[in-house]
Chain A
Amino acid sequence: MTICRGFRQGANVVALALLVLAIGCFALPAWAEYADVVLNKRAEKEGVRPVVFPHWFHRIRFRCKVCHAELGFKMRVGANDVLMSDIIDGKFCGACHNNEIAWGPERCDLCHTGKPGLPSGIYGGHETGGPGRW
């Protein structure tokens, strides 16, 4: 039930909210466009640059449900185990990056553009302790 929310708890939450947002302002490593995702579970270990996935670019062309319902991308950074062999087989990014809907998997340079050393995560500020942080 959502009933017993006293004022004191409310005040604490406001303080917490301001603290979290203040930390967000000062501690962020990067100024990426909001909602950019870095995928780097294996890329750098395997000798290529991390991948940068821009949400802003894709949501102009596709609704969230295309990737997160129809294609089954889990909404949590790092929760999808993306292998290059899967992409070439038409899974994950390869469902579109197949030279049909968009350019194909041979264009390594367009996806592997991340700064070396960046951990997987969601970037771009206004952050909370979001799922990508865990």
Chain B
Amino acid sequence: MGNCVGATWLPLEDDGVHDPLAPGVRLLQQPAEALGRLTPDSAGNYVRWVEALDKGEIKPREALRSKAAPRFRDDDILLNLKGGMPIVRFPHRAHTLWLDCSNCHDHLFKAVAGANKLSMFAILQGEQCGVCHGAVSFPLTECTRCHSVARSAVNGKPAQAAQGGALVPAAK
């Protein structure tokens, strides 16, 4: 709730979910101790999780026992080429660093650019992007982190309309 009360991590005893009388609470790590060392953000856990990973500040495991190679994808997809807000850039890279394809395809999104009817209403209801954003990943208060591409930057390129509302630049 940084937007309401200021960017701090509350001690577990005061956070409203832990019972200060529970004997285990004092054995747990305080969020400030772990998160205060990572690249800061202005909302959510106050950590830029993708940057923290890229910089090697954290090294989360990709698998427990599975020997299958992690699946990865590096393209960006532009969504919402027609609305009033800046265009949404969906980066596969940031997502597949953390997630498997099966976390999104196909039960949340068909794997065809432009094939999904996305809406901010649904997202705010906790569907589509809102399954994770607003729950675990950076919250929906951060409009410009999704609506990040100025319309003027892509206007007038006929390829987007031909692709039914999504533009897929070549992978880096």
Contacts and interface: CB of A to CB of B under 8 A. Distances in A.
Contacts of A94: none
A132 interface: yes
Contacts, number: 218
B16 interface: yes
A52 B18 contact: yes
B116 A2 contact: yes
Given A56-B35, A109-B22, A125-B1, A115 B97 contact: no
B17 A115 contact: yes
Contacts of A127: 134-135, 139
A124 to B, nearest CB: 8
Contacts of B63: 65-66, 70
Mostly, the B contact residues are loop
A35 B124 contact: no
Contacts of B75: none
A83 interface: no
| Interface magnitude class on chain A | 35 or more
| Interface magnitude class on chain B | 35 or more
Nearest to B71: A65
Most buried by A among B29, B49, B64, B134: B134
Contacts of B165: 1-3
A82 interface: no
A118 B17 contact: yes
A15 to B, nearest CB: 11
A56 B17 contact: no
B29 to A, nearest CB: 6
Contacts of B117: 1-2
Contact of A69 (B47, B103, B114): B103
Nearest to B83: A5
Interface string A53-69: 01111011111111011
Given A13-B120, A65-B99, 4 more contacts: A68-B99, A70-B100, A124-B1, A131-B127
